[in-house]
Amino acid sequence: MQGSQWWLEEQPVEVRTQKNVLRYYPKAGRLQLSRPDRLGLDGMSTVGKTVSLDLQAVRDAEQAEDAIALLQQVMDSLKGGV
């Protein structure tokens, strides 16, 4: 799905917390982290500020081991670890 509008072509696995929205697109290999949706001036709901992590790009990077280790450290800290 490289170069396509993958966010429109696939239904994400989504988790919402009070301050974050996580959307995982397995086929596209993307993870999005967003602020919560908000109401625009027109009264319509809009997606909050979002960043997307291209998982294949992380996997293919020269620094893949370091990037994966950092992500694992973050996951461990969420579980109450390091």
If you write DSSP's letter for every residue of 28-58 in order, what string do you get? TTEEEEEPPPEE-TTS-EEPPPEEEEEHHHH
CB 25 within 8 A of CB 16: no
Find out whether 56 and 34 touch, Cβ atoms under 8 Å. no
The pLDDT of residue 79 is: 87
Predicted model pTM: 0.81
Task: Please provide the average confidence, as pLDDT, over all residues in the chain.
Answer: 90
pLDDT of residue 40: 84
Mean pLDDT calculated for residue range 5-11: 91
Residue 1 lies in a domain: no
Is residue 61 included in any domain, yes or no?
Answer: yes
Residue 60's domain comprises 6-78
The pLDDT score that the predictor gives to residue 7 is 87
Residue 60 lies in a domain: yes
User: What's the total number of domains in the chain?
Assistant: 1
